[in-house]
Structure 1
Amino acid sequence: MATNKKVRWGVLSTAAIGVKKVIPAMQLGQLSSVTAIASRDLTKAREAAGPLGIATAYGSYEELLADPDVDAIYNPLPNQLHVPWTIKAAEAGKHVLCEKPVSLTVAEAETLLAVRARTGVKIGEAFMVRTAPQWVRLRELLREGRIGELRSIMGAFSYFNIDPANIRNQMETGGGAMMDIGCYLVQASRFAFEQEPTRVVSLIDRDPQMKTDRLTSAILDFPHGQAIFTCSTQIVPYQRVQFLGTKGRIEIEIPFNAPIDRPTRLFLDLGGDLFGAGITTETFPTCDQYTVQGDAFSRAILDNTEVPVPVEDAIKNMAVIEAIFQSAVSGGWAEPKR
């Protein structure tokens, strides 16, 4: 579809993640250009468009989808609107990069397979970590066997937010720790093992008023090892992931919210010395992982290749999340839907 050098992107809504993080980053891309933005309020769209250098503002999502000068859509709408508007965008002939989690359930995510087949567009989930340099390097080190055989993954991701007006704390919009940040820990475990867990078990503590999961811990049982993690919306902000093998360990210092103003670091420990004598540090040049994500998706459009996180992968990630919720209710192991 795109005949120009850059893919022309339109953005559905003035959601904070788009306006503050993703759009500014995509505007720096070599293959991406955000040319239009839509809100249900034209004034809001115009107010967002100006500072971001976006040429066109629309007062409805439908107008954006009808724009022939838009090749692809970035969808950062609330979670419950991801699938409905991704379908509408695809039916309008637009490729879609949908913010994570792509859906609220496995069944909902699966509907995107038929839509993609019928429309012929590319649909992907916006797990920006999948193309980030530190995560690409992690996979290289694991495949090279630098830490022997990967056997265990330990992760934590948390922040503190008790505002009931915040979308992350609302059940109807798919809020809660698991959907907002736990999904990254599931993605990281599947990415590192390059397998799917056969079963999961979990514990969930829900906020008594908001009903969202405010503290979730899980064990994921993979054919080659285990992953354990804790995620929370109501404890001290923190994130770290450790990958333990038979001969060494890898630690990603800031795995998910990688800074855009300083390099990121990965620690490779091959000595097993508890005081860190065997640790070497790999440093990655400052970059914006949202810029990398945008260009990777744009390249897939321009070259007609697979997007970094296709619908099939999104469904598998959601299957694990769904099983984690099921386990918390049953009190036993649950198997992700195949």
Structure 2
Amino acid sequence: MEKKLRWGVLSTANIGIKKVLPAMQHGRYTTVDAIASRDLAKAKEAAAKLGIPRAYGSYEELLADPKIDAIYNPLPNQMHVPWTAKAAEAGKHVLCEKPISLTVAEAKSLLAVRARSGVKIGEAFMIRSYSQWLRVGELLRAGRIGQLRSVAGFFSYFNDDPGNIRNHVESGGGALLDIGCYCIQAARYGFGQEPKRVVGLIDRDPKMKIDRLTSAMLDFDGGQAIFTCSTQLVPYQKVQFFGTRGRIEIEIPFNAPKDRPTRILIDETGELFGSGIIIEEFSTADQYTMQGDAFSRAILEGGEVPVPLEEAIANMAVIEAIFRSGESGRWEKPQV
């Protein structure tokens, strides 16, 4: 029988209950054995709904459970670092939802925690474990489209509800931290390097103060990346990689469906009507299942998790620099 990592979950957050936990329950290397909430009734309700064996009325109780190997942390953004640190100090490996922190300094504080505890800590960018993204990485490294020179991304949805936590500045709400981080991840993944400097344009909601529309340009040694993200536009997402000989497009890059195959488009002809496009299709799969399995397998086999702390810190450095640029109106250098 395959050995599995035993997971506990901090909070009954929607992303966990609706997406991540049901997916992890189908994992080859994962079991979800406990869930905690500050409200025991909520924890019991979620446990009953999902068939999770144990429910706790405090996060501390879950962290004290000796039958839990790893913690999934989907708490509000401002609670990511404190509870990731507590979980690690309790000897649990941690997969923390993105963004792992609100600042570079916060994220870097986890390096010492990891060193002391000896556990692995990773950021939950599920795209980094998903088949279509892994394939794009293979194609880029193999030079399928020549030399990569440009990455272009777009990610948006519409949510202007003042009561929604994604619209609370103090909770790390707003477009850049919530979804722009994916576009940054895509650019860094594509080029396989860090940007030297970035520039950003930020439009803030006059009442909620969150960034509702942010665009940025990232300057790499190998080329350039551009992206726009918004929490108050028509829902849309796309990522394209442009090389000297061709182009790769990920059809649905971030919210990949789990009920149908996904596709990437490879264009090596430049024919504007698309007649030369080659389509690669990937079997129906759940990217959250793949994320849980990739993290768990790294623990069980002694490998590196898909997005370790160093990667999380580098992504946060770009986010911080874009925010600084939005204020200064100048190019800013990411600082880790």
Normalised by the length of structure 2, the TM-score is 0.99
Q: Aligned ranges for residues 261-272 of structure 1 at < 5 Å?
A: 261-272=259-270
Q: In 2, Cα distance between the equivalents of 1:215 and 1:328?
A: 11
Q: In 2, Cα distance between the equivalents of 1:64 and 1:227?
A: 42
Q: Aligned ranges for residues 218-257 of structure 1 at < 5 Å?
A: 218-257=216-255
What one-letter code is carried by the residue in structure 1 that aligns with 2:53? A
Q: In 2, Cα distance between the equivalents of 1:166 and 1:304?
A: 39
Match for residue 333 of structure 1?
331
Match for residue 70 of structure 1?
68
Q: Which secondary structure state, in structure 1, belongs to the residue aligned with residue 313 of structure 2? A: helix
Q: In 1, Cα distance between the equivalents of 2:205 and 2:81?
A: 27
String of CA shifts for 1:164-190, please: whole Å, max 9, x gaps: 111100001000000000000000000
Q: Which secondary structure state, in structure 2, belongs to the residue aligned with residue 186 of structure 1? A: helix
Match for residue 41 of structure 2?
43
Match of 1:314 among 312, 315, 318: 312
Shift of 1:4: 7.8
Q: In 1, Cα distance between the equivalents of 2:44 and 2:286?
A: 25
Q: In 1, Cα distance between the equivalents of 2:224 and 2:313?
A: 21
Q: Aligned ranges for residues 2-81 of structure 1 at < 5 Å?
A: 5-81=3-79
Moved over 2 A (4+): none
Q: Which secondary structure state, in structure 2, belongs to the residue aligned with residue 5 of structure 1? A: coil
Q: Which secondary structure state, in structure 2, belongs to the residue aligned with residue 195 of structure 1? A: coil
Q: In 1, Cα distance between the equivalents of 2:247 and 2:25?
A: 36
Match for residue 164 of structure 1?
162
What one-letter code is carried by the residue in structure 2 that aligns with 1:39? S
Match of 1:206 among 194, 204, 207: 204
What one-letter code is carried by the residue in structure 1 that aligns with 2:3? K
Answer yes or no: is the 8 Å Cα contact 2:263–2:279 preserved in 1. Answer: yes
Match for residue 144 of structure 1?
142
Q: In 2, Cα distance between the equivalents of 1:131 and 1:4?
A: 20
In structure 1, runs of 5+ residues without a counterpart are: none
What one-letter code is carried by the residue in structure 1 that aligns with 2:67? D
Q: In 2, Cα distance between the equivalents of 1:104 and 1:180?
A: 11
Shift of 1:147: 0.3
The alignment's C-alpha RMSD in Å is 0.9
Q: In 1, Cα distance between the equivalents of 2:122 and 2:96?
A: 6
Percent identity of paired positions between Structure 1 and Structure 2:
73
Q: Are 1:91 and 2:85 an aligned pair? A: no
Q: Which secondary structure state, in structure 1, belongs to the residue aligned with residue 160 of structure 2? A: coil
Q: Which secondary structure state, in structure 2, belongs to the residue aligned with residue 326 of structure 1? A: helix
Answer yes or no: is the 8 Å Cα contact 2:2–2:28 preserved in 1. Answer: no
Shift of 1:51: 1.6
Q: Which secondary structure state, in structure 2, belongs to the residue aligned with residue 334 of structure 1? A: coil
What one-letter code is carried by the residue in structure 2 that aligns with 1:266? I
Q: In 2, Cα distance between the equivalents of 1:288 and 1:27?
A: 11
Match of 1:324 among 322, 325, 328: 322
Q: Which secondary structure state, in structure 2, belongs to the residue aligned with residue 224 of structure 1? A: coil
What is the aligned length?
336
In structure 2, runs of 5+ residues without a counterpart are: none
What one-letter code is carried by the residue in structure 2 that aligns with 1:143? R
Answer yes or no: is the 8 Å Cα contact 2:198–2:334 preserved in 1. Answer: yes
Q: In 2, Cα distance between the equivalents of 1:299 and 1:241?
A: 28
What one-letter code is carried by the residue in structure 2 that aligns with 1:291? T
String of CA shifts for 1:137-173, please: whole Å, max 9, x gaps: 0011001111000000111000000001111000010
Match for residue 102 of structure 2?
104
Shift of 1:53: 1.1
What one-letter code is carried by the residue in structure 1 that aligns with 2:229? C
What one-letter code is carried by the residue in structure 2 that aligns with 1:65? L
Q: Which secondary structure state, in structure 1, belongs to the residue aligned with residue 109 of structure 2? A: helix
Q: Are 1:295 and 2:293 an aligned pair? A: yes
Q: In 1, Cα distance between the equivalents of 2:237 and 2:289?
A: 22
Answer yes or no: is the 8 Å Cα contact 2:2–2:29 preserved in 1. Answer: no
Q: In 1, Cα distance between the equivalents of 2:203 and 2:42?
A: 37
What one-letter code is carried by the residue in structure 1 that aligns with 2:307? V
What one-letter code is carried by the residue in structure 2 that aligns with 1:299? R
What one-letter code is carried by the residue in structure 1 that aligns with 2:334? P
Q: Aligned ranges for residues 103-122 of structure 1 at < 5 Å?
A: 103-122=101-120
String of CA shifts for 1:61-118, please: whole Å, max 9, x gaps: 0000000010000000000000000000001000000000000000000000000000
Q: In 1, Cα distance between the equivalents of 2:70 and 2:243?
A: 40
Q: In 1, Cα distance between the equivalents of 2:294 and 2:144?
A: 27
